[in-house]
Chains A and B, each alone.
Chain A
Amino acid sequence: MNNETAKEILSAYRPNGQDATDPSFREALEQAERDPELRAWFERERQRDQAIASLIGQHPVHGNNKQALLAMVKVAQPLRLKTFPWRWLALAACAVFGFGLIGLRYFNSSPSPTVPMSVASGLPTRLAGWADGISTLDHPSTNVAEIQAWLKNTGAPSPVTLPKSLADIPPLGCERIPTTDGVAVSVICFMDQGHLVHLFVLNGAANLPQGYPDHSWVSAHGWNSYVWKDGNQVFALVSKASPKDLTGLVT
């Protein structure tokens, strides 16, 4: 091995010595022991590498997102249900529903971008089902304005206004909820005092059944929800936190 080859090999030798036991460096290291010129070069190189490595390793990581990241994946835990064979079963079911919908649309061309009766009447169960089914977020972000813009750009319901108390809690991200009845639903997820809090947004409050209350508490399958109307939008704050804890977020 000539010195040039040895230099090329030793260029990959980490200055912290982690490669000391790697046999592929042995010959080059032995040559550096024997050859004074190569040894001097290697010492200079290691010292320089150490200095640069320490500068890069000290580069500050601003605004650490670890907690948000861990929370986001907690949100995604129900995703386990989507692993094989459930994924294929779900796809098959979606296909059946999809064909059904296409058929329905073919015979009934009236658009359904609003909240139909079926959703409104079964709202507590639907909310619990949506909350249970939230998978890894479509758009992880800790910026509410950015989430609102993203939802708007993708044609999903985007909240025009948010409760003030929610504005103080950094969100985790958002997801568009797939529904089989054409209702556009989106959700923004927050983490508040160790509890996941989902804010569902549905367009079309005007189409809620006559007499549907402007504000209501509903509960189903362990999820507590506070539902309210604001303009033409329906909001639902859904969490496993107690109604008392949720109250603080909507006042």
Chain B
Amino acid sequence: MTFDEHFKELVDRWYEPLCRFAYSLSRNDSEAKDLTQNAFLKWARQGRGLRDSARAKTWLFSVVNNEFLDQVRHRSRHPCTELSEDNSATSPSIRANNDPVGQDLDSKLVWSALDRLEERFRAPLVLFYLQDHSYREIAEIMDVPIGTVMSRLRRAKDQLREIMDRNSSEKPKITPFEKEA
């Protein structure tokens, strides 16, 4: 397989999942696209040796995660105010196809709960929900021990559930007026 073919295959397979992961970290469409694009360009420059697709995948997600963390550190040193995109207004709310747990799950509820999740829990949990990575690969991407990933996933899910329960109980309930007899 030529370099071009390999690169195209990687882009076709991983562009969207990487973008979703980047979006979960930055919560900004433009930043997510930039992070994704930079990861692929970095692969083209430095990661060419990673012909094994599984390793290339882990490498790409690590780059997105690390670059995002670098940006966060940079911003904390050089704070600035940006005109933010109000993604919540433009992102359509998607409802879960089957909602067996009885909770009114929709994408806005999930994303806003993920927003409130502790930083160290959010990235592994989103990687888990993207379902493309085993917990071992998540450990490699996050550069933490396997045991840490397992305990973080457990705690992240508990925390997410608590936040979602709180958010849905805060939502005003719409109840129809009873007809007068």
Chain A positions within 8 Å of B, measured between CB atoms, are 7-9, 11-12, 14-16, 18-19, 22, 44-45, 47-66, 68-70, 72-74, 76-77, 79, 136-137, 140
**Is B57 interfacial (CB-CB < 8 Å)?**
no
Chain B positions within 8 Å of A, measured between CB atoms, are 3-4, 7-8, 11-12, 15-16, 19-20, 23-24, 29, 33, 36-38, 40-41, 44-45, 91-92, 94, 96-101, 103, 105-107, 110-111, 126, 128-131, 134-135, 149-151, 153-154, 157, 160-161
Name the B residues within 8 Å of A74 (CB-CB): 4
Determine chain A's interface SS by DSSP, over half rule: helix
Please judge, given known A-B contacts A61-B15, A66-B12, whether A56 and B126 are in contact too, CB under 8 Å. yes
**Pairwise interchain contact A69-B37, C-beta atoms closer than 8 A:** yes
**Pairwise interchain contact A55-B91, C-beta atoms closer than 8 A:** no
Known contacts A56-B126, A61-B23, then 17 further A-B pairs from the complex at CB < 8 Å, ordered by chain A residue: A7-B154, A8-B154, A11-B153, A12-B135, A18-B134, A47-B100, A53-B129, A56-B107, A57-B20, A59-B107, A60-B91, A61-B16, A61-B20, A70-B11, A72-B37, A79-B44, A137-B41
Name the A residues within 8 Å of B20 (CB-CB): 56-57, 59, 61
Of A22, A56, A65, A68, which one neighbours B129 at CB under 8 angstroms?
A56
17 A-B pairs (CB sep. < 8 Å): A8-B151, A14-B131, A14-B134, A16-B131, A18-B134, A47-B101, A51-B105, A52-B96, A55-B94, A55-B96, A56-B107, A57-B20, A59-B23, A65-B36, A68-B37, A72-B41, A136-B45
Please judge, given known A-B contacts A12-B128, A56-B126, A60-B91, whether A51 and B100 are in contact too, CB under 8 Å. yes
- The 10 residue pairs across chains A and B that have the minimum distance between CB atoms: A12-B135, A11-B154, A51-B96, A47-B100, A53-B129, A61-B19, A55-B107, A73-B44, A56-B129, A48-B101
Q: Which residue of B lies closest to A4 (CB)?
A: B154
Of B101, B110, B150, which one neighbours A9 at CB under 8 angstroms?
B150
Closest chain-B Cβ to A203's Cβ sits at a distance in Å of 28
A45 vs B92: C-alpha distance in the bound complex, in angstroms? 26
**Pairwise interchain contact A22-B134, C-beta atoms closer than 8 A:** yes
Please judge, given known A-B contacts A12-B153, A74-B4, A136-B45, whether A53 and B131 are in contact too, CB under 8 Å. yes
**Pairwise interchain contact A8-B8, C-beta atoms closer than 8 A:** no
A51 vs B71: C-alpha distance in the bound complex, in angstroms? 31
Of B23, B41, B150, which one neighbours A12 at CB under 8 angstroms?
B150
**Pairwise interchain contact A59-B91, C-beta atoms closer than 8 A:** yes
A65 vs B103: C-alpha distance in the bound complex, in angstroms? 35
Please judge, given known A-B contacts A12-B149, A18-B134, A56-B110, whether A76 and B44 are in contact too, CB under 8 Å. yes
Q: Which residue of A lies closest to B107 (CB)?
A: A55
Name the A residues within 8 Å of B153 (CB-CB): 11-12
Name the A residues within 8 Å of B36 (CB-CB): 65
Closest chain-A Cβ to B53's Cβ sits at a distance in Å of 15
Name the A residues within 8 Å of B107 (CB-CB): 55-56, 58-59
Closest chain-A Cβ to B30's Cβ sits at a distance in Å of 9
Name the B residues within 8 Å of A45 (CB-CB): 157
Of A11, A70, A136, which one neighbours B150 at CB under 8 angstroms?
A11
**Pairwise interchain contact B130-A54, C-beta atoms closer than 8 A:** no
**Pairwise interchain contact B101-A73, C-beta atoms closer than 8 A:** no
Name the A residues within 8 Å of B154 (CB-CB): 7-8, 11
Name the A residues within 8 Å of B98 (CB-CB): 47, 50-51
**Pairwise interchain contact A140-B37, C-beta atoms closer than 8 A:** yes
Name the B residues within 8 Å of A11 (CB-CB): 150, 153-154, 157
Please judge, given known A-B contacts A15-B131, A70-B7, A73-B41, whether A64 and B15 are in contact too, CB under 8 Å. yes
A22 vs B36: C-alpha distance in the bound complex, in angstroms? 30
Q: Which residue of B lies closest to A48 (CB)?
A: B101
Q: Which residue of B lies closest to A25 (CB)?
A: B135
